[in-house]
Amino acid sequence: MPLQLAEIQLDPPVLLAPLAGITDLPFRRLVGSFGAGLVVSEMVASQEVVQARPLARARAELGFGEAATSVQLAGRDPWWMAEAARYVEGQGARVIDINMGCPAKKVTNGYSGSALMKDLDHALRLIEAVVGAVQVPVTLKTRLGWDDALLNAPELARRAEAAGVRMVTIHGRTRCQFYKGQADWAAIRAVKQAVTVPLIANGDIMDAETAAEALRQSGADGVMIGRGAQGRPWLLAQVAAALYGRPAPQVPQGDALADLVIGHYEAMLEFYGADLGLRIARKHLGWYLEVAGLETARGPIITGDVPAQVSRALRETFRQQEREAA
């Protein structure tokens, strides 16, 4: 069933996770074109958004006002978090997500991200500051805990709901696990039982089968997909079709796949400019080739620095694959 987030309906309850350096505006728009209940921006640092530092400004092309888009903020200071929330709301953000799950050392060393799970009182001050600053729905993304000795996600979620958070997403690992091992979907159930707001399961959801199992084990109201969508922007729509009876997407092949990949490539070049866009596009092109089973074609496509030549190589590669499969 669709999830209701204030006046926003998340339909289907299959969401795109925020991934630093990946879920930029071109990628979110592409995923959204196939269908997603919500797409979440890359994490942006609250103080940098307010002070408009160059990196934050580049990332702050956040799709303000676009349907089914959430802006994710990170920080450690309640004042900056509140100011950033006011800013992005004023720019048209329809949902604000608070990051308390990022495990990266450069984030946790600054007492942001999942480091906040070590001090729930301070975490709540940040949540209260954001909720009190804006009228749009505020959500929270976090992990099971800091480590196996501090599995306090149920308490954090309960207190966050009491402070006004409208939805909680749990990645089924602790911070100290980073992305190692297997996400523990069953452990998410304790968080679901602690709250009445929608609960979203995240971590290692790679297809419809794993999405269904994550829902079964966690009791969650929906799923959030991150790395599984790399090179497969249609994946969320496939999961929604299998789990919720939504129309199945037409997975592109041959020229249609070339059109999609080249369109994404050109969108990145336009968004970032040629020099930075070429570097950022390489990882996405690599994922498309990997998903298509065309890793041997990586050379001229990944290393190419003339966009027209890269586009021609992409089209010929996907055409050749389709001819060989015929």
pLDDT in tens, 256-279: 999 999 999 999 999 889 999 999
Question: How far, in Å, CA of 297 to CA of 93, rounded?
Answer: 40
The tokens of 16 are what? 């795109």
227 belongs to an annotated ligand binding site: yes
Q: CB under 8 Å to 161, separation ≥6 — which residues?
A: 168, 195, 196, 197
Q: What is the pTM of this model?
A: 0.93
264 belongs to an annotated ligand binding site: no
* Block residue for tokens 């030549």: 309
Find the mean pLDDT for residues 90-96.
Answer: 87
Find the mean pLDDT for residues 218-244.
Answer: 97
159 belongs to an annotated ligand binding site: no
Find the mean pLDDT for residues 243-247.
Answer: 94
Q: CB under 8 Å to 323, separation ≥6 — which residues?
A: none
180 belongs to an annotated ligand binding site: no
Question: How far, in Å, CA of 304 to CA of 51, rounded?
Answer: 36
- Banded model confidence at residue 63, pLDDT cuts 50, 70, 90: low
pLDDT tens digits, one per residue of 103-161: 888 888 777 888 999 999 999 999 999 999 999 999 999 999 998 898 999 999 999 99
Taking alpha carbons only, the member of 180, 238, 184 closest to residue 206 is 238
Phi and psi torsions of 167, nearest 5°: -160, 145
Which residues carry out catalysis? 102
The tokens of 91 are what? 């720019």
3-244 has which CATH code?
3.20.20.70
Q: What is the 3-state secondary structure (H, E, C) of the chain?
A: CCEEECCEEECCCEEECCCCCCCCHHHHHHHHHHCCCEEECCCEEHHHHHHCCHHHHHHCCCCCCCCCEEEEEECCCHHHHHHHHHHHHHCCCCEEEEEECCCCHHHHCCCCHHHHHHCHHHHHHHHHHHHHHCCCCEEEEEEEECCCCCCCHHHHHHHHHHHCCCEEEEEEEEHHHCCCCCCCCHHHHHHHCCCCCCEEEECCCCCHHHHHHHHHHHCCCEEEECHHHCCCCCHHHHHHHHHHCCCCCCCCCHHHHHHHHHHHHHHHHHHHCHHHHHHHHHHHHHHHHHHCCCHHHHHHHHHCCCHHHHHHHHHHHHHHHHHHHC
**Contact assessment for residue 34 and residue 60, using Cβ atoms and an 8 Å cutoff:** no
Domain ranges for the chain: 3-244, 254-325
- Banded model confidence at residue 221, pLDDT cuts 50, 70, 90: very high
105 belongs to an annotated ligand binding site: no
- Banded model confidence at residue 306, pLDDT cuts 50, 70, 90: very high
Question: How far, in Å, CA of 174 to CA of 117, rounded?
Answer: 10
Partner residues linked to 200 by β-bridges: 169, 222
Find the mean pLDDT for residues 215-241.
Answer: 97
